[in-house]
Amino acid sequence: MFKKTFKGGVHPDDGKRYAKDASYRTYLPQGELVFPMSQHIGKPAKPVVKKGDMVLAGQLLGEADGFVSANIVSSCSGTVKAVENRRTASGAKVMSVVIENDGQYTLAEGIGAERDYKTLGKEEILGSIQKAGIVGMGGAGFPVHVKLAPKNADEIRYVIANGAECEPYITCDDQLMRTRSMELAEGMRILLKLFPAAEGVFLIEDNKPEAIAAMEKACAGDEKLKVHAAKCKYPQGGERSIIQVIAGIDLKLGMLPADAGCVVDNVATMYAIYQAVCKSTPLMERGFTVSGDAVKEPCNLIVKIGTNMAEVLEAAGGIRDGKEAQKLLSGGPMMAGHFGGEEVSLSKTFEAVGAYKAGMMDEATFYEAECNSCPGCGSCAGMYTANSMNCLSEAIGMALPGNGTTPAVSAARIHLAKHAGMKIMELIEKDIKPRDILTPAAFRNALTCEMAIGCSTNSVLHLLAIANEAGVPLQLETLNELSGKVPNICHLAPAGPHHIEQLYMAGGVPAIMKELTKRDFLDLSLITCTGRTVGENLEGVVNRNPEVVRPLENPYSQTGGIAVLWGNIAKNGCVVKRSAVAPEMMVHEGPARVFDCEEDAISAIYNGMIVPGDVVVIRYEGPKGGPGMREMLNPTSALAGMKLDTTVALITDGRFSGASRGASIGHVSPEAASGGEIGLVEEGDIISIDIPNSKVNVNISDEEMEARRAKYVPHEPNVKSGWLYRYSRLVTSADQGAVVR
């Protein structure tokens, strides 16, 4: 029969005690509701309403605009207040429909009509699910109608309802199974009509006895329905873990659940399917847990899609006096994915968007890229920002050896975490504090490693900010000094073919640092968080793969991975990941294509308006202008996916993801919102880029620049109130680490 658990996993405090027995209650929002058109994986929906339209609950607001896309429906009645870009929790501006809620929640015609699913054919069932706009409710947001139409439908052996709810604190699925068990059983029977050779299994962790009992009662007497109590262990709710337990198959990299004869859906998804098929009700609401020791009234709510999170928190009584809400951050890189016969990571998915838009990739291949780029938990598999800072935390002496590269899924990560706790106690006993470690020489060591590794440009911002907090003077000029003499000996994605797991196997950051000792690039006398010196930490270290970590005698380049450029549009500097720039783009000259926000730039790229030779300029996205300095991964990836990264440069006062590659020049200081010269660049101006000589200029005279400044009209701020406005008033420029003073 089924296994009790999967291979590996951890046992964190589940935190369920706060809201475990809190029964569902419905919260009806009072303010406006915002419906982003991209609440799902895939192509955003296309708005079908306009400002001033009256809408009803259940009415279509956004129509699916592609194979991998989903409808968006209104969860309230009221008036369309706006159809515009709104910033989401991710920080991105997304086309959204804003509705002024009338508080009546009047339903559109036909919503709630009873139907007997037994009389419906497969196409009718799938059509109902698609029309309802149902996406994966476990967090992935993948359009469910796509998942339910695998090529090998007749080979599906198990339809699995994921009721594990292994994530700490969350209890809404537990309540769903306790109170909606009959509906969930019917939802499973609906799916079994699509996969007649399969049996339906509800997988529930054994810390939910009430839910298990309720589902067993609902499934009793149906031979095709099973309830399986699995051992409580994180990440039991992951598809790979579930399939290992139910099907006994270890899902290999590149495989989809259907390849293992499985379809996996969250129980909340199953309930939404029942509502859509049997009650003619689209996805308008969902269960939601607000919990934690900082919450006054931990609870499980039925929340309307589009509700402001501030209202949801208020419905839970808000934050306890004297408490501070915190986030739990995961550590360690994920493993690389596999696509197109090669190892891939996050950047390949973003680049696939550009390739698809350019007609260079069909929809099926695009879907395959999406499914295979990020195979599991952890920070992205390349030398992107998270992994860059993990590695540099180790190089600067503030993290244990192995912190930068030990995979998140490795048992060694748990070992590392345990030893980190032990070392903290040791450091307290020895009275070694962060400022004892974060000395000017330690920052120089970190920057040296940054050059050797080829880290994300964001690491420059972070190191500047950390130096500011530590009271250590650090100038951009130091980067170019080190870049001029420290070779680049690693080429990890997006700069090259290797990923973090290969660096880990090669010996990790210690192997890199060991190579750097050959030319006395590092100060080996510095104390680190191990309680030992840098030199002592490197005793016995061996480079186990001289292709992943090249010897100093055979580097990828004689210069470092990061370069700082100066010029008349970047008087205080700007930053480029030199190791990810194609040789032919090291020196480039071309006409400026000027955009005052990321959205306008990406639209122009997708619509084929950018041609070889162009220099894309994106401004008003800096620390003040954003505000907050958004990353420009979408435009850089689109250019790379369209094969324009070797002919088109991009310059911005914003920043980049570590996944960006090509001649991507960011952190331009001073930024446009501070009166920087990048705000004076005009469409068609010729921009000259000379990375080897650290120069970037617009080819106009000083007199012309001053004439433009005299008639310059300051850009209207993106945010004019609230905390973001205060932040924009206080934040410094990128060359100072974008710190708040």
**Residue positions annotated with a catalytic role:** 657
First vs last C-alpha separation in the chain: 62
Side chain identity, residue 183:
E
Cα separation, 523 vs 513, whole angstroms: 10
DSSP 729: H
**H or E element, residue 46:** strand 46-47
Q: Which residues pair with 95 in a beta bridge?
A: 85
Taking a C-beta distance cutoff of 8 angstroms, is the pair 367, 338 a contact?
Answer: no
User: What is the three-class DSSP state of 472?
Assistant: coil
* Chain center to CA of 452: 26
- The token duo for 296 is 């006054």
How many other β-carbons are positioned within 10 Å of the β-carbon of residue 53? 15
- Amino acid type, 684: G
Q: Which residues contact 698 (CB under 8 A, 6 or more apart)?
A: 567, 568, 569, 592, 677, 681, 685, 686, 687, 688, 705
DSSP H/E element including 418:
helix 411-430
Task: Compute the distance between CA of residue 403 and CA of residue 415 in angstroms, rounded to an integer.
Answer: 11
- Give the span between the Cα atoms of 284 and 299, in whole angstroms: 20
Strand bridging mode 615-618 / 342-344 = unpaired
Query: Which residues, in sequence order, are CB contacts of 388 under 8 Å at separation 6+?
Result: 450, 453, 455, 456, 458, 459, 658
Asked if 96 and 77 count as a contact pair (C-beta separation under 8 A), the reply is no
288 three-class SS: strand
C-alpha angle 487-489-490 in degrees, rounded to nearest 5: 140
Is it true that the peptide bond before 235 is cis, omega within 30 degrees of 0?
yes
**β pairing state of 199-205 and 649-652:** unpaired
Q: Rounded to whole angstroms, how far apart are CA atoms 452 and 559?
A: 9
266 vs 229: CA distance, rounded Å: 15
Q: Give 686's contacts (C-beta < 8 A, 6+ positions apart).
A: 589, 590, 591, 592, 698, 699
Amino acid at 542: V
Three-class secondary structure of residue 502 per DSSP: helix
Nearest-angstrom CA–CA distance, 300 and 172:
6
Amino acid of residue 278: C
